[in-house]
Amino acid sequence: MTEHLTVVTHPLVQHKLSIMRDQETSTSKFRQLLREISMLLAYEVTRDLPLTSVKIQTPVCAMDAPMLEGRKLALISILRAGNGLLDGILELVPAARVGFVGLYRDPETLTPVQYYCKLPADLAERWTIVVDPMLATGNSSVAAVDLIKAQGAQNVIFLCLLAAPEGVKRMHEAHPDVRIVTAALDDHLNDHGYIVPGLGDAGDRMFGTK
Strand duo 155-163 + 97-105: pairing: unpaired
Coil, strand or helix at 128: strand
Contact pattern for ligand URA over residues 73 through 92, marking x by CB under 6 A: --------x-----------
Q: Is 47 a catalytic residue?
A: no
Check residue 125 for interaction with ligand URA (CB under 6 A). no
Check residue 136 for interaction with ligand URA (CB under 6 A). yes
> Among 88, 99, 138, 198, which residue interacts with ligand URA (rule: CB under 6 A)?
198
| Neighbouring residues of 19: CB distance < 8 A, sequence distance ≥ 6 | 25, 29, 33
Check residue 195 for interaction with ligand URA (CB under 6 A). yes
For every residue of 2-15, DSSP letters joined together read: GGGEEE---HHHHH
DSSP 138: S
Angle among Cα 185, 167, 129 to the nearest 5 degrees reads 85
- Smallest gap from residue 112 Cβ to ligand URA (A): 13
Check residue 112 for interaction with ligand URA (CB under 6 A). no
Extract the annotated binding site: 80, 105, 132-140, 195, 200-202
